[in-house]
Amino acid sequence: MTFDIQKIRQDFPILARTVHGKPLVYLDNAATTQKPRQVIDALVHYYEHYNANIHRGLHTLAEEATAAYEESRLKAGRFINAAHPEQEIIFTRNTTEGINLVAHGWGRKNLKSGDEILFSAIEHHSNLVPWQMIALETGAKVRYVDIDETGHLVWDDLLEKLNAKTKIVAISQMSNVLGTINDVKAIAEVAHKFGAVLLIDGAQSVPHMPVDVQDLDCDFLAFSAHKMLGPTGVGVLYGKRDILNAMDPFLGGGEMIMKVTYEESTYAALPNKFEAGTPNIADVIAFGAAIGYLEGLGMDAVREHEIAITQYAIDALSRVEGVKIFGPEDAHEKGGAVTFNYGDLHPHDLSQVLDQEGVAIRAGHHCAQPLMRRLGVVATARASFYIYNTNEDVDALVDALGAADRIFGSSSSEARGGAGHAVTA
């Protein structure tokens, strides 16, 4: 399965702009993706034609807005093959809020002193900090599974640390730094043998590859719209219906209640129990257009394209003297992100020079400070790809590295610390 990249690029108005007089080469897709005209139009159409609050009004605009909002819920559920999308899809602001919802709504009720929370060494802060906070509150203990020199989880370490005390395994399906794809289906199987539940951070995986929650048998999955062509401010938490029903609400207020007296309240059925207050109606509706766009391409084709361009980037950067690439070398084992350093240049300096050449990358700790320390670096540069990126974009990145070398000096392997792939222990 393939698609016409040049035709796709025409759907993205921002790709026509220039930066510092150079054509924009956008390689920061792991942070957020650009938006096609179809999504922008859906957002504008809502505000121009049926802007109204949902679930409460009986007039035409309210009914139209409610129908469009709930259609996006069904689309999101179908996209990840939820068994009961009308109940199992909770709209949040982002992946972070979805994980916090689980940490507070499930963790407060189910964790106690002596219990263990297991995550991995490659987690984003969004899947670390909430569990640290809830561990302090409940007396549970946090533990992590280590990685090997290629950036993969050490399976023996996972099996050693999984035990009867483990109550939840919280793990990313795809690393936002190394791109490593974790075998979350196998992790679900072993976690469930110990009676633990599995939460998947799908912020990087859901936009880039087919994800089937029933096949994976995960208990929770969180992801964000803005990383898959949708607007910012919209996230999805999937949870198995029985588990969500047993959880307490995360936020209290309007819309999430069944009955309220001065003394007490009862809560609404799923999914309303977890969606207090007026939601981000317009952006949820536009998110439905983003899902439709990706479905039109086919997620198998999206994955196929990213494997090809990621491998092209790995090979191209490996030929640049002084570049060190972190994580798996085989694009089939990772997502569309290549994290690297260029000799002794600080990634922030490198990013600024590349920006002058019109090339947008990410530089810093990528909200994964523990992983940076595990890698033995303070920061890295990251080029990340999506459906509209081409091999020519990679070539522009490589050419821009040449500009950085001309500004900062020699690119000799000795001066820049050598080239190649590595995960430093």
Q: Which residue is it, tokens 């610390």?
A: 417
The partner residues of 384 in beta bridges, in order of sequence, read: 28, 337
Q: Read off the tokens for 227.
A: 């990383």
- Beta strands 166-172 and 380-384: pairing type? unpaired
Q: Read off the tokens for 45.
A: 């159409």
Closest CA to 366 of 179, 184, 229: 179
Rounded CA gap, 320 and 405, in Å?
Answer: 11
CB neighbourhood size of 361 (10 A): 24
Distance of CA 291 to the CA centre of its chain: 15
Residues 6+ apart with CB under 8 A from 133: 103
Distance of CA 98 to the CA centre of its chain: 12
Rounded CA gap, 419 and 343, in Å?
Answer: 8
Contact by Cβ (8 Å): 175, 333: no
**DSSP E strand stretches across 308-399:** 323-326, 337-342, 359-360, 362-364, 380-384
Cβ burial of 168 (10 Å; 0-12, 13-18, 19+) is buried
**At what angle are helices 281-297 and 37-49 packed, to 10 degrees?**
150
Rounded CA gap, 380 and 424, in Å?
Answer: 13
Which is the catalytic residue, given 316, 367, 398, 422? 367
Residues 6+ apart with CB under 8 A from 56: 62, 255
Look up 367 and say whether it is catalytic.
Answer: yes
Q: Which residue is it, tokens 């920006």?
A: 355
Give catalytic residues, as residue numbers: 367
